[in-house]
A = this chain, B = another copy of it.
Amino acid sequence: MLIAAIEAGGTKFACGILESAGAGSGKPSILERASIPTTTPAETLRASADFILDAAERSGRGKPDALGIGCFGPVDLRPTSPSYGSITATPKPGWGNTDIAGFFNGELELQAAFDTDVNAAAYGEYLWGAARGRRDFVYVTVGTGIGGGVFSNGLVAHGLSHPELGHVKVRREADDAYAGSCPFHRDCLEGLASGPAIAERWGAKAESLGPDHPAWELEARYLAKAVACYALVLSPELVLLGGGVGMREGLAERVSELVGEELAGYVPPLADPRRLASFVARPELGADAGLYGAAALALRGRRD
């Protein structure tokens, strides 16, 4: 089947046309992809839809059979809500109350599978990446912000809206005087450990800080506190640490070690050092993770 996949991001929309033999049949093939800058809704949505319609036609298969959209937030995910499928109160200028799913549904004459960008990425890792075979796991991405998706019993947790893993309040490290960058909570996890927080605290961008810079040990400590919290609340088998900051070389390994210290032997399976060593790991889907995630959403409910 032909899948239209869209990762609607705050910087760019990653759009693709993929060919899949079904959710159980291995990673779909990406036939074509495009990266469209996120400017105004009118411009970006139009260009994305045009690319998808043209690429589907070029594929020789006509129109796509399914549509998946992973979207930056906050989004309305309540199926019964009049604004279901919309971006709601985003600080991003011009994008508040934009009906993303509705637009693409109309253009492609399909019913989109719509979810947050992080839930989509988690779903992709569940079907084809580092979380294959794991029914209970957490996917957390650390970059400009910190967010994530939660799988429990093989299903994405939505509940009231969706988890906000980046906004848990971890205890501060005693020698950290940085006030925090979160406009809502100041020194929640995102306020202390996101890319902008690292840059502001140390006066240099995260990617410019060498492996021996103390920023990385502090980063690992804050992330370990958050991961220990997720482990206590959810009892996941695995925590995937993605994003530009989260995928830094050696970070997942150090966070795993520190989670052991945080839990102090309390979650017995993680008291086994071998088990603990692989508890925090990196996602596997790489640069096309957004497209695979959106395609995984499109296949959700079509376990053929």
Contacts and interface: CB of A to CB of B under 8 A. Distances in A.
A117 interface: no
Interface in A246-280: 262, 264-270
A72 interface: no
Contacts of A229: 168-169, 229, 233
Nearest to A158: B235
Interface string A136-180: 100000000000001011010111111111011111000000000
Main secondary structure of the interface of A (DSSP, over half): loop
Could you say how many copies of this chain the assembly holds?
A: 2
Contact of A157 (B153, B185, B265, B267): B153
A225 interface: yes
B266 A163 contact: no
Contacts of A266: 164, 167, 184-185
A155 B136 CA distance: 12
A169 to B, nearest CB: 6
B267 A164 contact: yes
A233 B163 contact: yes
A232 B225 CA distance: 15
